[in-house]
C-alpha cells in the first residue's frame, strides 16, 4: 500500500507549513488526486487518519478532489479524456495515447488555526 508513504509525505508537508506559520492545529487538508495517479482515495483517507494521530493534524478533515485523466493520441493527434492508463483512443482506437493530465497528486490547500 503505497498510500501510507504518500500520506506520510503529505503529513510532513502539513507539519512543515504549520510550524512555519506557528499554527496550533490543522483543520483541513485538501488533496487533488488524478484518476490516473494510481492513488486510491479511500486508502489515502485511511492512511492519512492513521499517520496524523498524535500530530498537529490529528482530527483534520481530509478533502479529496479527484481530477479527470486526459491524454494526447499520437495516432490522431487529438486530446481525449482517459479513464484509465493504456486504454485505446475513443476516437481512432489507437493505443498510443500519452497521458497529459490526471497523473498527479498535490496538496491544494491547508487550513490552520
Instruction: For 91-101, write each residue's pLDDT tens digit.
Output: 999 999 999 99
Average pLDDT in the 64-78 region? 97
CA distance 20 to 62: 21
* Per-residue confidence (pLDDT) for residue 1, from 0 to 100: 59
Average pLDDT in the 90-111 region? 96
| Helix, strand, or coil (residue 94) | coil
Q: What does the mean pLDDT of the chain come to?
A: 96
Alpha-carbon distance values, 52 to 47, 48, 70, 73, 74 (Å): 9, 6, 32, 41, 43
| Helix, strand, or coil (residue 12) | helix
Per-residue pLDDT tens over the stretch 10-32:
999 999 999 999 999 999 999 99
The pTM for the full model equals 0.88
Is the domain 3-112 a CATH 2.40.30.10 member? Answer: no
Average pLDDT in the 54-83 region? 97
Domain boundaries, the chain: 3-112
Four-residue CA torsion sign, 18, 24, 25, 26: negative
* CB contact set of 46 (below 8 Å; sequence gap of 6+): 3
Amino acid at each position: 500500500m503505497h498510500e501510507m508513504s504518500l500520506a506520510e509525505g503529505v503529513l510532513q508537508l502539513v507539519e512543515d507549513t504549520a510550524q512555519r506559520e506557528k499554527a496550533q492545529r490543522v483543520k483541513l487538508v485538501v488533496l487533488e488526486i488524478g484518476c490516473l495517479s494510481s492513488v486510491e482515495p479511500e486508502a489515502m483517507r485511511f492512511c492519512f487518519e492513521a499517520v496524523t494521530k498524535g500530530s498537529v493534524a490529528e482530527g483534520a478533515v481530509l478533502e479529496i478532489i479527484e481530477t479527470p485523466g486526459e491524454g494526447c493520441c499520437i495516432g490522431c493527434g487529438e486530446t481525449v479524456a482517459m479513464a484509465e492508463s493504456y486504454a485505446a483512443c475513443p476516437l481512432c482506437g489507437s493505443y498510443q495515447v500519452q497521458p497529459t493530465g490526471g497523473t498527479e497528486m498535490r496538496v491544494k490547500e491547508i487550513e490552520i488555526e
